[in-house]
Structure 1
Amino acid sequence: MKQVEKSEVEVEPFTVESVDVHVLRCPIATPVRTSFGTMHDRPAVLVSVTDSDGCTGWGEVWSNFPACGAEHRAALVSTVFAPMLAGSRVADPADVFRDLTKRTAVLALQSGEPGPFAQAIAGLDLALWDLRARRAGLPLWNLLGGTSDNIPVYASGLNPVGSAQLVAHKLEQGYEAFKLKVGFGVDRDINNLRMLREIIGPTRRLMVDANQAWTLAQALEIAPLLSPFNLGWLEEPLRCDRPLSEWQALAGNAPMPLAGGENIAGDDAFNAAIASRAFSVIQPDAAKWGGISGCLNVIRSTQAAGLTYCPHYLGGGVGLLASAHLLAATGGDGTLEIDANPNPLRTLLHGPLDTLTNGHVHLGHAPGIGVVPNLAELREHIREKAAFVDTSRKSS
């Protein structure tokens, strides 16, 4: 896989003055359910990098599971990575991504935490790219080489309970594609699919996500039963650590395309997944591994192989916007995942993503990701709506 290409836009190097990290949590009335667990509140780990000129870029670190994961990732950012970044000279965020990964590789192995380390690096990479775009006075999608701010979106995270009302609401908002969570028993899954297909009609896109729920034998049995619903893809039917030969066996027998990638990390693993031809849709999560620097390589390799890149994302608004800009920058026929469930930490921060026209959004031309989080306003607003916890850490 080739190295990240330099941006065509020349941006002067900058010096990192400080790194801040904030853990935000908002309780929710309806838990978000997957086949492996339930989220009873919505966390967001926001990171900001400020340079010596006072310009700030924002990123987000994946932190959905386990329940204590957000505070843990924030501690990694503030105690391990912020001291490494403070005072450093940044010419290209991709260089920083590689340097941080290399410098902490042994520590990640020693602690048995390569995932959390990669997630912290990913969030910082997003912040550095946002900062670079803001310094250039360009929207991130444009800085990265994109030519249009217009992208398609789909409503994700549809639970096995209450999805009918949620889908009806999203249709009114302008959504044209939807993804249902399955893996809760064949009869229940099929009944939910039948109900949703009736609501959205025969032509709108409908996908499903099994969240690693099945064995190969189960998936081979269940996938044909889902065929009548004309699914755009079946996401993560198998555990992400199962051999690629199992994914290939399923791909050769499933009546719909397979999707995956949110739980793949590293160039080698993505290269192998792409080369296997088991996946029609590759879904790296830029807040979970790679940030922009790593994911750009994956996206280019995905598209060169004739496969579809669709960003995975299920967090707050900052990471969602970064994912949107990454999709707009790289083009192709992918679609942005937007969680349909209520989450103030997403909707108060995701800017133009709540204005849809025929299933598409325009990201606009504001510098960077286009939004500057107002933490004071955010805290006050959420306090008015629900109990709220904010753990802030700062390093300079």
Structure 2
Amino acid sequence: MTKTDLDIVELRAIASSVPVRDGVTLGIGRAVKRDCVIIKIVTRGGLVGWGESHHGRCPGAIAHLVNTTLQQLLLGMPADEVNRIWDKVYMRQMASHGMGTAAALAFSGIDQALWDIRGQAVGWPVYRLLGGSRKPIPAYAGGISLGFQAPDTLVNEVHALREQGYRAIKLRLGDTAALDIERLQAVRKAFGDELGIMADANTAYSLTDVRNVASALRECRVIWLEEPFAPHDYRSYATAAALLGATPLAAGENHYTRYEFARLIEDKAVGILQPDASKAGGITELMRIAALGSAWRLPLCPHTCATGLNMASSIHVLASIDNGGYFEADTAKENLFRDRLTRRADSLDENGCVSPSDEPGLGVAVDEEFLRAHPVIEGPAYV
């Protein structure tokens, strides 16, 4: 393979949507559809790389940004020069007068696809390129699941997840403090200390809510409280950290690039970092964020998204860093992007852990017929 064989000759984004028949209700509303934005990159030598950009709840707009501006910036560049490509997009779109957050979402899938190509070019899985090893990574049951439901129904759902092998789960908060506590206590009582419990408020809490649930979180030995507030509400995070005591705060799925994570870390309020490889800037930027976190002894527990591409990206990163924590497995009952568009990248072993694929690149194929059969459905994903 010559150097020019790695030049990018095709770069495009495909937005896709599927309706949800029985949507889970969370702090951000009831899910009515699932969206994704898939990135395809083809090199002059015929290598095809795939990635996932987060849809930003406006998938058509993210795909359009890729298919116009970012495509024109990157066509002809060598796919293996990931840092050079990242810097170009940063300077042209993120640093000054650009689309900022939208560009971070759009470029994240491009970066994943570039790493997929790099791995294929040398015949290595991404984790080997990153200096990692094929080690087991503890997983918890997350995704769009375990929502606002009666405690006995919730306990039954957790039972089913336990039977699948999960040793930790994430409950959804953000209903009312009283109902949140009732559900949390019911799950802890049903499973005792054999089950690890995380909690996610999906930005729906106020400081008053945190005060009201703080003692229950401690009594139920919750591993973390995730995103009680909007990502820019740094003052509330600092206040909440003092209120929670031994229960750490987790955040980062709605922070973008290492620059925003630098502020998050320096404020010393958040104890668990949760960047998303489809949002924060791709695999390249997750490795940089992980290094920042490592210097502060903070674990990295990435947020994951719709398809096996982002799941695989997260697992490859977790296998390659010294401060890797939990992998968030998508345990939604209904996710065609996970099960049909791509294959699952998060199969559990007998210890409730996942491991990266040994196939070259990300190790995930994409069904392009599925994308053609499921065009984007514009409109809100939660109501």
- State TM-score, norm by structure 2: 0.89
- Check 1:217–1:198 CA distance in 2 against 1; reply closer, same or farther (3 A cut): closer
Determine the structure 2 residue equivalent to 1:152.
Answer: 138
Determine the structure 1 residue equivalent to 2:327.
Answer: 336
Pairwise CA distance, 1:47: 0.4
Residue among 220, 236, 242 paired with 2:227? 236
Aligned pairs (5 A) from 1:371-382: 371-376=364-369, 378=370
- What SS class does the counterpart of residue 203 from structure 2 fall into? coil
- Superposed CA deviations along residues 224-278 of structure 1, whole A, max 9, x for unmatched, are 23222110000011221113x4322321230411100111123332112112221
The worse-fitting range, judged by mean Cα deviation, of 338-347 and 85-94 is 85-94
Question: 1 CA distance for matches of 2:290 and 2:176?
Answer: 34
Q: Is 1:246 equivalent to 2:236 in the alignment?
A: yes
Determine the structure 2 residue equivalent to 1:4.
Answer: none
- Superposed CA deviations along residues 191-224 of structure 1, whole A, max 9, x for unmatched, are 2112222343322210000111122233233222
Determine the structure 2 residue equivalent to 1:356.
Answer: 349
Give the residue type in structure 2 aligned to 1:15: D
Aligned pairs (5 A) from 1:160-199: 160-161=148-149, 163-199=154-190
- Check 1:239–1:83 CA distance in 2 against 1; reply closer, same or farther (3 A cut): same
Determine the structure 2 residue equivalent to 1:272.
Answer: 263
- What SS class does the counterpart of residue 50 from structure 2 fall into? strand
Give the residue type in structure 1 aligned to 2:52: E
Q: Does the CA contact (< 8 Å) of 1:64 and 1:315 recur in 2?
A: no
- Check 1:144–1:133 CA distance in 2 against 1; reply closer, same or farther (3 A cut): same
Give the residue type in structure 1 aligned to 2:19: P
Residue among 89, 92, 95 paired with 2:81? 92
Question: 2 CA distance for matches of 1:21 and 1:197?
Answer: 43
Question: 1 CA distance for matches of 2:209 and 2:178?
Answer: 14
Question: 2 CA distance for matches of 1:203 and 1:227?
Answer: 16
Q: Does the CA contact (< 8 Å) of 1:146 and 1:331 recur in 2?
A: no
Q: Does the CA contact (< 8 Å) of 1:12 and 1:91 recur in 2?
A: no
**Percent of paired sites with the same residue:** 28
Determine the structure 2 residue equivalent to 1:345.
Answer: 337
Q: Is 1:325 equivalent to 2:316 in the alignment?
A: yes
> RMSD between aligned alpha carbons?
2.2
- Superposed CA deviations along residues 292-350 of structure 1, whole A, max 9, x for unmatched, are 12221111110121111100113222111111111111143401111211202013324
Residue among 353, 363, 374 paired with 1:370? 363
Bigger share in strand: 1
The worse-fitting range, judged by mean Cα deviation, of 328-337 and 139-148 is 328-337
Give the residue type in structure 2 aligned to 1:297: R
Aligned pairs (5 A) from 1:1-396: 14-63=6-55, 65=57, 69-105=58-94, 109=98, 113-156=99-142, 157=144, 158-161=146-149, 163-243=154-234, 245-254=235-244, 255-341=246-332, 342-348=334-340, 349-376=342-369, 378=370, 388-389=374-375
- State TM-score, norm by structure 1: 0.87
The worse-fitting range, judged by mean Cα deviation, of 79-88 and 266-275 is 266-275
- Check 1:227–1:23 CA distance in 2 against 1; reply closer, same or farther (3 A cut): same
Pairwise CA distance, 1:108: 5.3
Q: Does the CA contact (< 8 Å) of 2:125 and 2:359 recur in 1?
A: yes
- Check 1:217–1:152 CA distance in 2 against 1; reply closer, same or farther (3 A cut): same
Give the residue type in structure 2 aligned to 1:253: L
The worse-fitting range, judged by mean Cα deviation, of 123-132 and 209-218 is 209-218
Query: How many residue pairs end up in the alignment?
Result: 367
Question: 1 CA distance for matches of 2:140 and 2:47?
Answer: 33
Q: Does the CA contact (< 8 Å) of 1:313 and 1:337 recur in 2?
A: yes
Give the residue type in structure 2 aligned to 1:374: D
Query: Where does the alignment leave 5 or more consecutive residues of structure 2 unmatched?
Result: 378-383
- Superposed CA deviations along residues 153-201 of structure 1, whole A, max 9, x for unmatched, are 1111321125333322221111111001101001211121122223433
Q: Does the CA contact (< 8 Å) of 1:133 and 1:368 recur in 2?
A: yes
- What SS class does the counterpart of residue 280 from structure 1 fall into? strand
Question: 1 CA distance for matches of 2:51 and 2:82?
Answer: 13
Pairwise CA distance, 1:379: 5.5
Give the residue type in structure 2 aligned to 1:273: L
- Check 1:368–1:184 CA distance in 2 against 1; reply closer, same or farther (3 A cut): same
Question: 1 CA distance for matches of 2:165 and 2:322?
Answer: 21
- What SS class does the counterpart of residue 389 from structure 1 fall into? coil
